[in-house]
Amino acid sequence: MRSARALLALLLGLLCASEAAIPAAATGAPARIEARFDASAFTLGASGINTWITRSAAIVAAYYGRFPTPVLRLKIVAAPGEGVRTGHAYPGNGPGIEITLGRGTTAEALEHDWVLVHELIHLALPELAERHNWLAEGLATYVEGMARVAAGNMTAEELWQEYAESMPKGEPTAGDSGLDRTPTWARTYWGGALFSLNADVEIRAATGNRLGLKDALRAILAASGGMRVEWPIERVLEVGDAATGTTVLKARYALERERPVTTDLAALWSRLGMRVEAGSVTLDPLAPGAPLRLALTAADGAPPPPVELITAGAP
Ligand SMILES: [Zn+2]
């Protein structure tokens, strides 16, 4: 995860166990989230936490067309203060997520939380060798924003503003090598996100704006089952490319794995119909690149199948 953003406190807590339905894909058995936390430890109570889990799961399920794993064990641990403090996704057959949540966190503060969305996205990609961590973190960083805009949890203006500010962090700096050889925070998270954005744009350009990175990621999830297995990166990229009928992922990886590659971000923003002046972003709806930009964050028509949420108190 990235470093947590601070949030604020308000509501009164409840202690109970409950079930709720999450709108989630099209085929297969219903997925299940088994959430474990001590509701009395949080001022927002069980209902506030359930709403947060349900909303985050729905955002991710909508992006992938299904919830990324049949069963998820989600543990929420209380910490002093407010806001989502840490998050971590664990691989394996029956993957888990552990989140550390401030005791005083409010429901309002969780409405636009990105941390749980980010961790849920990790479930959709097979485990990779350590040197490819940039792909796992980069995709989680990139898809988080795309999925939240598609779900109406964030505006496109907010997303592109954040990208205009943060994508430059992903550019190689002096002494950096390729993505497989530069395990710094900036290159891992934002270098990986920049790889993802470039790939998404290239897939859309190569397919006449019919397909995007989302189609590749859905195919990778369908073929692998996500984080429950470990795959070589070459297999991940091959399955993704086959789904879009392109060689974008393999070619970009070949380009960037060993060498530092700089993206002309000014040209990329212009290609997407965006003006970035003095750090401020303006989206031009009439620019030639606007249809491609809008396709990146567009929602699918079909809602994903439901996901069951089961909550229980801490052991
Ligand atoms: Zn992460």
Give 30-52 pLDDT, tens digit per residue: 899 999 999 999 999 999 999 99
Residue 310: inside a domain = no
Distance 118 CA to ligand 1 centre (A): 6
Distance 302 CA to ligand 1 centre (A): 27
Distance 104 CA to ligand 1 centre (A): 24
Which has the higher per-residue pLDDT, 261 or 25?
261
Distance 117 CA to ligand 1 centre (A): 10
Distance 286 CA to ligand 1 centre (A): 35
Average pLDDT for the chain: 90
SS percent in the chain: helix, strand, coil, step 5:
45, 15, 40
Distance 266 CA to ligand 1 centre (A): 27
Q: Which residue has the tokens 């995860």?
A: 1
Task: Give yes or no: residues 276 and 246 share one domain.
Answer: yes
Distance 290 CA to ligand 1 centre (A): 30
Give residue 279's pLDDT. Answer: 80
Task: Give yes or no: residues 91 and 211 share one domain.
Answer: no
Distance 180 CA to ligand 1 centre (A): 17
Residue 5: inside a domain = no
Distance 140 CA to ligand 1 centre (A): 6
Task: Give yes or no: residues 181 and 199 share one domain.
Answer: yes
Question: Of 123, 155, 178, which marks where a domain is finished?
Answer: 123
Task: Give yes or no: residues 260 and 187 share one domain.
Answer: yes
Residue 5 scores a pLDDT above 60: no
Task: Give yes or no: residues 171 and 53 share one domain.
Answer: no
Residue 12: inside a domain = no
Give residue 40's pLDDT. Answer: 95
Distance 66 CA to ligand 1 centre (A): 20
10 Å CB burial of residue 298 (0-12, 13-18, 19+) is middle
Distance 12 CA to ligand 1 centre (A): 30
Q: What is the pLDDT of residues 123-137, one digit of tens each?
A: 999 999 999 999 999
Give residue 84's pLDDT. Answer: 96
Give residue 121's pLDDT band: very low, low, confident or very high (50, 70, 90). Answer: very high
Distance 269 CA to ligand 1 centre (A): 25
Give residue 14's pLDDT band: very low, low, confident or very high (50, 70, 90). Answer: very low
Residue 23: inside a domain = yes
Instruction: Assign residue 34 a region (left: φ > 0; alpha: ψ between -120 and 50; beta: otherwise).
Output: beta
Q: Mean pLDDT across the stretch 83-99? A: 91
Task: Give yes or no: residues 160 and 70 share one domain.
Answer: no
Using only the alpha carbons of the chain, give its radius of gyration.
19
Task: Give yes or no: residues 119 and 144 share one domain.
Answer: no
Q: What is the pLDDT of residues 157-179, one digit of tens each?
A: 999 999 999 999 999 999 999 99
Give residue 21's pLDDT. Answer: 40
Residue 306: inside a domain = no
Distance 285 CA to ligand 1 centre (A): 32
Task: Give yes or no: residues 165 and 96 share one domain.
Answer: no
Question: Of 89, 105, 123, which marks where a domain is finished?
Answer: 123
Residue 224: inside a domain = yes
Distance 196 CA to ligand 1 centre (A): 14
Distance 149 CA to ligand 1 centre (A): 19
Give residue 137's pLDDT. Answer: 98
Distance 44 CA to ligand 1 centre (A): 25
Yes or no: say if 26 and 303 are a contact pair by the CB < 8 Å rule. Answer: no
Q: Which of 83-92, 242-251, 294-303 has the highest mean pLDDT?
A: 242-251
Task: Give yes or no: residues 166 and 249 share one domain.
Answer: yes
Distance 190 CA to ligand 1 centre (A): 11
C-alpha torsion 191→196→202→207, nearest 10: 170
Distance 143 CA to ligand 1 centre (A): 11
Distance 162 CA to ligand 1 centre (A): 17
Task: Give yes or no: residues 160 and 289 share one domain.
Answer: yes
Domain count across the chain: 2
User: Which uninterrupted H or E stretch holds 312?
Assistant: strand 307-312
Distance 122 CA to ligand 1 centre (A): 7
Residues 6+ apart with CB under 8 A from 215: 203, 243, 244
pTM: 0.90
Distance 87 CA to ligand 1 centre (A): 8
Task: Give yes or no: residues 118 and 135 share one domain.
Answer: no
Give residue 91's pLDDT. Answer: 87
Domain that residue 67 falls in: 19-123
Question: Of 87, 102, 123, which marks where a domain is finished?
Answer: 123
Q: Mean pLDDT across the stretch 178-183? A: 97
Distance 189 CA to ligand 1 centre (A): 8
Residue 9: inside a domain = no
Task: Give yes or no: residues 91 and 151 share one domain.
Answer: no
Residue 304: inside a domain = no
